[in-house]
Amino acid sequence: MSFSRIYDGAEPVRVNKWLAQSGVCSRREADELIAAGAVLIDGERVSDAGRKIEPGQTLVLNDRAELGLGAQVSVIVHKPVGIVSAQPDPGQVPAARLLTAENQVGPGIAPNSRTSFAPLGRLDMDSRGLLLLSEDGVLAKAIIGPESQIDKEYVVTVKGKADRAKIQKLRHGLELDGRQLKPAKVTLDDVQVLRFVLTEGRNRQIRRMCELVELEVVDLVRVRIGTLQLGDLREGKWRHITPEERNALVAASV
């Protein structure tokens, strides 16, 4: 079924701008779809890249456009310790190498070696858990763009005494590299287990935060990015994200 949406804005807006704001595709991709004759407004094919859609009008992307947008692959990997998110040094194994048919869970075709993945929120080599790999520019902007407020959740096992004073410092009051950190949600799950929810992703941030309060991280697992949960996906396995999951992430960033 073709994509169809009624424009409910108060004022006319350029089609490419509205599609980008809605998280359907980027402006450049919208222009390409218009040039390919894949965009219709109230049944009329749009040929002008500057065309505006009026309140109450219905925009439809034909099946050809849907196939093109759907070709942008995004997958969840349960990254093990010892695997790097991307750009490995000699001797290191990148997470994309786990994307084999043998490791796959759920439907879809395993991506080939020509698929150009980027990690949307890196995990360092010593950490494990939810890693999102994607070639979707709109999704990347939603999750790691400069204006993104999508949070990430981690379960962290530490050595040392995780008392109330240390947790308060972790929540607010620390700085790294001379810059104040954004407030973090930090709760004590167990005697040595902390749960962090962050809206930023500085290099090895949680490990360095814990070092500042004399705690040593012995295990770090990312369990959630925004609305996307790691769930019961086993370590080393991967799956395609669903259109509903992708749309929920984009919507959460608007």
- Nearest-angstrom CA–CA distance, 233 and 77: 8
Q: Which of 8, 42, 124, 219 is catalytic?
A: 124
- Nearest-angstrom CA–CA distance, 144 and 147: 8
161: its two tokens? 């005494």
3-state secondary structure of 20: helix
- Nearest-angstrom CA–CA distance, 160 and 43: 65
73-90: burial string, b at 16+ Cβ within 10 Å, e else = bbbbbbbbeebbbeeeee
Q: Could you tell me where the DSSP H helices lie in 71-218?
A: 137-144, 164-171, 205-212
Contact residues for 219 (Cβ-Cβ < 8 A; gap 6+): 128, 156, 157
Does residue 124 carry a catalytic annotation? yes
Q: How many helices (H) and strands (E) does the chain have?
A: 7, 19
Distance of CA 90 to the CA centre of its chain: 27
Residues recognised as catalytic: 124
